[in-house]
Structure 1
Amino acid sequence: MPHIPLDPQLPGITALFAYRPETAAPLGQLAQVLLRGPSTLTVGERELIATVVSNGNECRFCTGSHAAAAAETIDGGRAVVDAACGRVDDAPVPAKLKALLRIALAVRETGRAVTEELVAAARAEGATDTELHDTVLIAASFCLFNRYVDGLATVAPDDQAVYDQIGKQLAAGGYAR
Structure 2
Amino acid sequence: MPHIPLPSHLPGITGLLEYSQDTADPIRELTQILLRGDSTLSQGERELVATVVSHNNECTFCTTAHTAAADLLLGESVTCEMVKKDIDAAPVSSKMKALLKIAKLVQQSGKAVTEEAVSIAKAEGATDLEIHDTVLIAALFCLYNRYVDGLASVTPTNPEFYEYLGERIVNHGYNRLPQGYDHLKK
- Judge same fold: TM > 0.5, yes or no: yes
Report the AA paired with residue 11 of structure 1: P
Report the AA paired with residue 132 of structure 2: H
Counterparts of 1:43 and 1:19, CA distance in 2:
27
How do 1:34-53 residues align onto structure 2 when only pairs under 5 Å count? Answer: 34-53=34-53
User: How far 1:65 moved relative to its partner?
Assistant: 0.7
Q: Kindly, what percent of the aligned residue pairs are identical?
A: 56
- The match for 2:179 is none
Counterparts of 1:65 and 1:100, CA distance in 2:
21
- The match for 1:90 is 89
- The match for 1:11 is 11
Is 1:111 the equivalent of 2:110? yes
Aligned CA-pair RMSD: 0.8
**Cα distance per residue 1:8-67 (max 9 Å; x no partner):** 221101110111111111111011001001100000000000000000000011101111
- Segments of structure 1 that go 5 or more residues without pairing to the other structure are none
- Equivalent residue of 1:163, what SS? helix
Report the AA paired with residue 170 of structure 1: I
When the two structures are aligned, how many residues end up with a matched partner? 176
Larger displacement relative to structure 2 (128-137 or 167-176): 167-176
Counterparts of 1:74 and 1:128, CA distance in 2:
22
- Equivalent residue of 1:7, what SS? coil
Counterparts of 2:4 and 2:137, CA distance in 1:
27
- Equivalent residue of 1:158, what SS? coil
Counterparts of 1:146 and 1:10, CA distance in 2:
16
Counterparts of 1:150 and 1:48, CA distance in 2:
20
- The match for 1:174 is 173
- The match for 2:139 is 140
Counterparts of 2:159 and 2:88, CA distance in 1:
26
- The match for 1:81 is 80
Q: TM-score, structure 2 length as denominator?
A: 0.93
- Equivalent residue of 2:165, what SS? helix
- The match for 2:71 is 71
User: How far 1:160 moved relative to its partner?
Assistant: 1.2
User: How far 1:152 moved relative to its partner?
Assistant: 0.1
- The match for 1:102 is 101
Counterparts of 1:30 and 1:145, CA distance in 2:
12
**Cα distance per residue 1:146-174 (max 9 Å; x no partner):** 00000000000011111111001111111
Counterparts of 1:42 and 1:10, CA distance in 2:
28
- Equivalent residue of 1:46, what SS? helix
Counterparts of 1:135 and 1:98, CA distance in 2:
12
Counterparts of 1:14 and 1:57, CA distance in 2:
19
Counterparts of 1:48 and 1:57, CA distance in 2:
14
Report the AA paired with residue 175 of structure 1: Y
